[in-house]
Amino acid sequence: MDSNRNFRELIQKRWDAGSNICVGLDPELGSLPAGVTTIREFNEHIVKATAEFACAFKPNIAFYEALGTSGLDELRTLVQFARSEYPAIPFICDAKRCDNSNSNRGYIHSIFDLLGFDAITVHPYMGQEALHPFLERAEKGIIVLTHTSNPGAAELQQLEVSLSGQQLEELSNGPAGSTDNIHRFLSRNCSNHYVMPLYRVVALKVRNHWNLQNNCGLVAGATFINELATIRQICDELPLLIPGVGAQGGDIESVVPGAVNSRGDGMIISSTRAITNASTNSDYADAAHLAALKLNAQIQSLRHP
């Protein structure tokens, strides 16, 4: 795979071209459209039908791992096909990985070097030390779960974290960050400690401490509009991968105003079922093309009202 590819450069060029849709590629053998017998055929037709509007493609690796070694072969073939036909469009692996640092090197070799992805989703729970092998890959996108789109996301992600004055100072003034007024992101300011929801702590950690290579992004779900908008306020410069539009209930007219950054871009708006399942008949590729066209046109009209 091409080691000269840089995720941030690729995604910025797609934004500049007016593309903000991240097309999910999560096929299931038992749910393929009528007349389609292989996931390779399905994936390739969806890629061809939507590439014009895609800022990225995003397979969830679980759908391929479920098929065993043949599924991973299909995933590698998919990335190679799209790289050959549409080299300007990056591929994001939705894998939500992070383990101890040695295990992470195995994930990195598999996902970046063998499968050929340009970016990966990771979870922050084990901290910067564990994520270091990912973060040091400056050419790749490291997209950190911050506030996800699933209904139970608030159970942990909105828990309030108590910070001492020293901890707040350290969070505010990391080597990769800026010194804005962090107090506006507190939920409470008590006499000897400060309170902030966990997802905001994660966003500030990424912005101020983890983004040393300018290769980080954040996952911010479309189904939590207020939290999404707060993440954008914290991290104006970082890409936001935004799942949850369409089938999960996220409303694009509410998403874009809170998610767009000060330059008018920064959004990787993920849509899977609304595009790839737009039809279950033989016209599925044409239906996917039309769904992607309509969604991207709607996004552009909201970006430039």
Alpha helices in the chain (DSSP H): 7-16, 39-50, 61-65, 69-85, 101-108, 127-135, 154-157, 165-172, 198-205, 225-234, 252-259, 273-276, 284-303
pLDDT surpasses 60 at 1:
no
- Cα–Cα dist 276/264, whole Å: 27
Q: What is the pLDDT of residue 3?
A: 65
Q: Is 36 left (phi over 0), alpha (psi -120 to 50) or beta?
A: beta
How would you list the strands of the sheet with 119-122, edge to edge?
Answer: 54-58, 21-24, 267-271, 240-242, 216-220, 141-147, 119-122, 92-97
Q: Largest alpha-carbon pair distance within the chain?
A: 67
pLDDT level of residue 179 (50, 70, 90 thresholds): low
Residues 181-194 have a mean pLDDT of 81
Give CA–CA dist 201/195, Å, rounded.
10
pTM, entire model = 0.96
pLDDT in tens, 239-259: 999 999 977 778 999 999 999
Q: State the catalytic residues.
A: 96
One-character DSSP codes across 179-244: ---GGGG-SEE-SS-EEEEHHHHHHHHIIIII-TTS-EEEEE-TT-HHHHHHHHHH-TTS-EEE--
Amino acid identity for residue 196 in this structure: M
What pLDDT, on the 0 to 100 scale, is given for residue 291?
Answer: 97
Q: Which residue shows structure tokens 């849709």?
A: 21
Strand, coil or helix: what is 58? strand
Residue ranges and CATH numbers for the domains of the chain are: 7-153+212-303 (3.20.20.70)
